Amino acid sequence: MDSRLAIYPGSFDPVTNGHLDLIERASQIFGRLVVTVARNSEKAPMFNLKERVEMLREVTQLLPNVEVDTFEGLLVDYARKLGSHVILRGIRAVSDYEYELQMALMNRKLEPQLETVFMLPAVEYSFLSSHLVRELAALGGSLSGLVPPAVERRLRIKVAD
Ligand code: PNS
């Protein structure tokens, strides 16, 4: 087990400024942070896996202790393979809590050594989600301050397609 390592799993469809805020905060706490994109998410994504990974790599390139990876199957198996005993998740508002609680406790049942650590993004991102960003992009709303410029460009191209 690597005590300095944390993994931050998610769909990241696409990465938002809220995710990035959390990644920056976590990169100051953990020695090594692996942001990992779920390959077998139940949702039909707007961006394919390769695009989501590319965007994450672009926006985290200045953070030397952050890596981007993908995983398939159970998160606990991936964490075991990497030697991590910390899963990082963000909680924006009370509404996130129930889902996160279920997931954290299920993961704990599957792997008692694995700890889920929750962090809060900056308050200005507490209303922000990838889902809303996709909807705004589809309907032509402003994405200013919600996603990094590189992600905004990709969203505009995707919607125009
Ligand atoms: O960004 P999301 O969609 O909220 O991320 C959810 C994710 C990918 C972290 C979660 O669905 C997950 O861990 N999936 C992998 C499958 C798994 O381990 N399921 C059991 C978790 S209780």
- Measure the CA–CA gap between 67 and 108, rounded to whole angstroms: 24
Q: How many independent structural domains does the chain possess?
A: 1
Nearest to 36 by CA among 58, 3, 10: 10
Distances (CA, A) of 34 to 10, 86, 141, 159: 11, 11, 32, 29
pTM score over 0.85? yes
Structure tokens at 134: 């996709």
In this structure, the residue with its CA closest to atom 9 of ligand 1 is 10
CA distance 48 to 13: 8
Q: What is the pLDDT of residues 143-155, one digit of tens each?
A: 999 999 999 999 9
pLDDT tens digits, residue range 60-99? 999 999 999 999 999 999 999 999 999 999 999 888 999 9
pLDDT for position 28: 97
Per-residue pLDDT tens for 16-64? 999 999 999 999 999 999 999 999 766 789 999 999 999 999 999 999 9
Nearest residue (by CA) to ligand 1, atom 17, is: 74
CATH code of the domain covering residue 107: 3.40.50.620
Which residues lie with the beta carbon below 6 Å from any ligand 1 atom? 9-11, 38, 41, 74-75, 103, 106-107
Query: What is the C-alpha to C-alpha distance for residues 76 and 67, in angstroms, rounded to an integer?
Result: 18
Domain that holds residue 115: 2-160
Q: What's the confidence (pLDDT) of residue 74?
A: 97
pLDDT digits (tens, 9 = 90+) for 94-106: 889 999 999 999 9
Which amino acid type is present at position 59? Answer: V
**Peptide bond connecting 14 to the previous residue in cis, omega within 30 degrees of 0:** yes
Each residue's pLDDT tens digit, 108-141: 999 999 999 999 999 999 999 999 999 999 999 9
In ligand 1, which atom is closest to the CA atom of 74? 18
